[in-house]
Amino acid sequence: MKQEFIEKYYIDKNVSIDIGGKDIYKGTAAECADGVLSLKWTKGEDEYTHIEIDAIKAIWKTKK
């Protein structure tokens, strides 16, 4: 997965991300920097999960 591709098509969009394990990460693609995607999700307060872009196997847009 390329950082430029994510920035062009997914920033500020609701996404699901598969990194090859049993978990799927969901949230808003908030920012890409230094090979890391910051995924924003809300459970009371805004929180973030940071995912190494090279680890991403698949990403797709989702509804909120």
pLDDT at res. 50: 97
- When comparing pLDDT for 27 and 43, which is higher? 27
Domains of the chain and CATH, by start: 3-61 (2.30.30)
d(CA 31, CA 26): 14
Report in angstroms the alpha-carbon separations of 13 from 1, 17, 22, 27: 17, 12, 23, 8
Is the pLDDT assigned to residue 43 strictly greater than 90?
no
The model's pTM is 0.87
Residues β-bridged to residue 32: 37
pLDDT at res. 55: 95
Digit-coded pLDDT (tens) for 16-36: 999 999 999 999 999 999 999
Mean pLDDT of the chain: 93
Is the pLDDT assigned to residue 1 strictly greater than 90?
no
